[in-house]
Amino acid sequence: MSRSGFTSKQVAIEGAVGASVTDQPISENFAIRGSFLTAFLIDIEVGSVTVAAGITAKLQVRQSGNQDWIDSKTVDIDGDGTFTISLLDTVTADQEFLPLRPVGRVVVTTGAGDAVTVNKIYVLDSSSF
């Protein structure tokens, strides 16, 4: 994934996700560096999408390896393409999720009859958004 002014890291656990799963990890755990704990972008590239009940991708965060995951911002997946989770400290609605914890992952929840294939997930890093 290439965006002007950004560097990216690919963290996807690639493959198909079937129906009726809750919070199935679709990314590796990744570090959220201190320099952007208040501004963050994740691009999720998917294909072979079948939506019946609804598909949601969600950022989860935690302080360290032995703590429970905390739900953060979500994005609905409604077809093939790229979907972005963005968290910016300048957006009032995002402030409830900030600051982020230092460990993150992306999970997906599907309903009955839903399916999605995860192609790529990019954590995008920039000093300014």
Which mean pLDDT values do the consecutive 10-residue runs of the chain (129 residues) have? 65 90 94 70 94 96 89 96 91 87 93 95 68
Domain count within the chain: 1
CA distance 47 to 37: 30
Q: Do 50 and 70 touch, CB atoms closer than 8 A?
A: no
Helix (H, G, I), strand (E, B) or coil at 126: coil
CA distance 16 to 120: 12
Q: Which pLDDT does position 125 carry in this prediction? A: 65
Instruction: For residue 97, give its domain range.
Output: 9-125
The CATH number for 36's domain is 2.60.120
Q: Which pLDDT does position 2 carry in this prediction? A: 59
Query: pTM, whole model, 2 decimals?
Result: 0.89
Q: Do 76 and 31 touch, CB atoms closer than 8 A?
A: no
Please indicate, yes or no, if residue 105 is contained in any of the structural domains: yes
Cis peptide before 99 (omega within 30 of 0): yes
Q: Which pLDDT does position 128 carry in this prediction? A: 46
Q: Which pLDDT does position 36 carry in this prediction? A: 57
